[in-house]
Structure 1
């Protein structure tokens, strides 16, 4: 009897277990697409391996090209340029099987959107891809239009996003959600709320969903649009959405707190069946914004006791609450424990500590924090120090902070205005005029008002 051959599970499989002739060209393309998708999903080095598989595929049809582009889009900002280069190569290739379609433009625009606000080249490339889509007649396609709306919103070009939205031939719920989110993310709260009203009037044609509500609630909070916020809450209940869902619950908490209904915000928190980190952070921020530092701190300790791990955003909320509540010692202790929870101390956290000490009049200690930072203090840190100096009329330190800010943040008119006002209060009219003249010469614009928490959330990530 011939012995059965056994193989160890640790043996390296053969690179090509079946002769290539056993696979038809269509099957080979299918296998290649599957391998590209699997490797790209691994991220990191897996994306490079996926590209190697793609390059070695003997037959590349539109499906295989799109799978590779999708892999780049999902892999994040570092691969935006590769996606753009690949679509250029695809367009230059000969043969109908490699012809770009609406999926092609959707994937490459998403890749550019992922890096749009961090990479000027990706932003320019995304606009170029938009032009190519127009030339190919795909700009009116719903998939491509939705990707373009998100891309321009990510760049902060809300006007361009709205133009794409308006000319889109067939708007689906994703189209409306993308435009509403674009308005909300760029501080255009009134437009976001107005677009929600327009969407709601369409009735069954395009009904708001859970994503719509999550997108619009921050806008309702920013503009204190209590009527629209109440409508969103009742709409969620009426349509059997999970009001306890983390994203929806945290949005409702922030909305009610911004509208002055702190008790209702706490009721939403108490009724949430699954209190995620985001839900806790929203309620902590709500307490802090109303000056209830003790309640915010108690809720933070309850969160830890329940085994919910805090992240960088949560620490911003707690530190800000301590600053507004005058809880200096408690805030410093919270700041010192960040490393225990595996959370890196970043610019926004140091800005919160400077604000914490500055509000309490401890300007020398606040300056000590700035000078002892393990990296160069940024505009948020110096801005917090300038605000504290203005609060306590420390002109000497204010001039030092302003000197750094006019270098780090030369386009922010609020910095100039704060220093000029301090000069006015001190009777130094010539200095005040000099600062205002400098502001005009530099074309500085005053940013939208925001709290230290709302204004710096993006810096946490």
Structure 2
């Protein structure tokens, strides 16, 4: 006869803390919490911290219960405050984390973990958190924790998220003991803010450090778009070789970056080889290959890839439709492009400004300016600068000054600081011999303080320099 043995009930805080480490299921967690209450140990600082951490790990579903335990704890030290702050951060409720931090300053002294969680919360809030993040940064300096690698990494990511790469670099340079996360944060910050050359240069600097700080998967995913944008073929090829030699798993993000890099280098054949070697092809991987074909004017191949994706049961999103529509525009596939545009309704993907701009570009490149204007006028919302910009480009391509003037009139209101809009219209007037009108546009450009961008070239450097 089989005997059943029941475990003895925990009697002290150590037992409950041990239980909480191994049980994260919501139902089991609630049972343990009930036993904690009946044992009178809910106010124990270690048990309270364990309950807060476990509830917060459930995300939004458990953060309210975590806060209840936190509020009932009579002794809240820095450790417990940090656990709750981290819980809010992980639950995707950064504003609550910032509000809690404001309360904590009067109750407990913050340490490096406190400021790490709070800075990450500032970055997660996004728009509107700039001043708060700067104030928190000032507090880290006052507390003497700014050079700490955890705080520093969080600050680099925060400033990069706000678009202030100069400040991100200043913080990065001030971190005394940089780790791979430090390098990843600043490289990604430069790449995501359009500073591709600087991102590639940082990769070179990272490689010169040797074995103590080798790139990881995150580094490669961050730097590949920068290699593609800056034409850094050497670094891109090194990245692929590094992936192979270190047996890093070729996931969707890494494969997409390699495909884009090889496409930017003009090696569609290798981009396709990378695509074929990805076992679990996601929508992002298909989109990257579609973009690669489209950027080289191979609309038919891009369209075939799109239909292959659909045949494999992978649903497209808005970005994917932009890639297909752009490929059709560059390949002159007007009917196919319009059919793809109609398919967006079938897949319940919202048609946005960028999609209408692609259709206007599609028709405009084919010389169907009246149909392009008809699309603009029939839009269910007010056309934006991308739509009018596409119409201006098409008008210039086919020499329709009247339509170009109409598009430019709207653009000079919607996008008054874009020098390219003025230059395109002035050039059209020059080509038509309307010198006075061209001079008027250039005078308007000068009076508004709009500077024509200077041409630049990118010269690759030696990675070992």
Q: What TM-score bracket applies, with the shorter chain setting the length?
A: 0.7 to 0.9
Match of 1:152 in 2: 159
Match of 1:89 in 2: 103
Question: Per-residue displacement from partner, 1:146-165 (whole Å, max 9, x unpaired)?
Answer: 11111111221111111111
- Cα distance in 1 for partners of 2:351, 2:94 equals 29
> Would the aligned equivalents of 1:172 and 1:206 in 2 still touch at CA under 8 Å?
yes
- Cα distance in 1 for partners of 2:129, 2:400 equals 44
- Residues 1:65 and 2:81 aligned together: yes
- Residues 1:178 and 2:191 aligned together: no
Match of 1:291 in 2: 297
Deviating more after overlay: 371-380 vs 149-158: 371-380
The Cα shift of 1:55 comes to 4.0
- Residues 1:232 and 2:239 aligned together: yes
State which structure, 1 or 2, has the greater radius of gyration over its C-alpha atoms: 2
Question: Per-residue displacement from partner, 1:178-217 (whole Å, max 9, x unpaired)?
Answer: 1111111111111111111111111111001111111111
Question: Per-residue displacement from partner, 1:65-121 (whole Å, max 9, x unpaired)?
Answer: 223333443455xx544433332221122xxxx2211122122212222233xx2x3
Given the two structures, how large is their TM-score scaled by the length of structure 1? Answer: 0.86
- What is the Cα-based RMSD across aligned positions, in Å? 2.5
- Cα distance in 2 for partners of 1:253, 1:75 equals 34
The Cα shift of 1:370 comes to 1.8
- Cα distance in 2 for partners of 1:398, 1:50 equals 60
- Relative distance call for 1:144 and 1:238 in structure 2 (3 A) is same
> Would the aligned equivalents of 1:29 and 1:59 in 2 still touch at CA under 8 Å?
no
- Cα distance in 1 for partners of 2:444, 2:301 equals 44
Question: Which of 332, 335, 340 is 2:338 aligned to?
Answer: 332
Given the two structures, how large is their TM-score scaled by the length of structure 2? Answer: 0.85
- Segments of structure 1 that go 5 or more residues without pairing to the other structure are 1-8, 450-461
Q: What is the DSSP-based 3-state SS (H/G/I as helix, E as strand, rest coil) of the residue aligned with 2:215?
A: coil
Q: What is the DSSP-based 3-state SS (H/G/I as helix, E as strand, rest coil) of the residue aligned with 1:60?
A: coil
- Relative distance call for 1:410 and 1:225 in structure 2 (3 A) is same
Question: Which of 45, 66, 75 is 1:26 aligned to?
Answer: 45
Question: Per-residue displacement from partner, 1:279-303 (whole Å, max 9, x unpaired)?
Answer: 1111110000000000000011011
> Would the aligned equivalents of 2:147 and 2:174 in 1 still touch at CA under 8 Å?
yes
- Segments of structure 2 that go 5 or more residues without pairing to the other structure are 1-26, 456-465
How is 1:103-182 mapped onto 2 (pairs within 5 angstroms)?
Answer: 103-116=113-126, 119=127, 121-182=128-189
- Residues 1:37 and 2:37 aligned together: no
> Would the aligned equivalents of 1:150 and 1:182 in 2 still touch at CA under 8 Å?
yes
Question: Per-residue displacement from partner, 1:410-454 (whole Å, max 9, x unpaired)?
Answer: 2222222222222222223333233223323333356799xxxxx
Q: How many residues align?
A: 426
Question: Per-residue displacement from partner, 1:253-283 (whole Å, max 9, x unpaired)?
Answer: 1101100111111111112222111111111
How is 1:287-436 mapped onto 2 (pairs within 5 angstroms)?
Answer: 287-436=293-442
> Would the aligned equivalents of 1:36 and 1:67 in 2 still touch at CA under 8 Å?
no
- Cα distance in 2 for partners of 1:371, 1:52 equals 55
- Residues 1:101 and 2:111 aligned together: yes
> Would the aligned equivalents of 2:271 and 2:289 in 1 still touch at CA under 8 Å?
yes
> Would the aligned equivalents of 1:412 and 1:447 in 2 still touch at CA under 8 Å?
no
> Would the aligned equivalents of 1:149 and 1:161 in 2 still touch at CA under 8 Å?
yes
- Relative distance call for 1:411 and 1:112 in structure 2 (3 A) is farther
Q: What is the DSSP-based 3-state SS (H/G/I as helix, E as strand, rest coil) of the residue aligned with 1:349?
A: helix
Q: What is the DSSP-based 3-state SS (H/G/I as helix, E as strand, rest coil) of the residue aligned with 2:105?
A: helix
- Cα distance in 1 for partners of 2:374, 2:66 equals 50
Deviating more after overlay: 212-221 vs 423-432: 423-432
- Relative distance call for 1:373 and 1:62 in structure 2 (3 A) is farther
- Cα distance in 1 for partners of 2:112, 2:453 equals 38
Match of 2:4 in 1: none
- Relative distance call for 1:190 and 1:107 in structure 2 (3 A) is same
- Cα distance in 1 for partners of 2:267, 2:441 equals 41
- Relative distance call for 1:397 and 1:60 in structure 2 (3 A) is farther
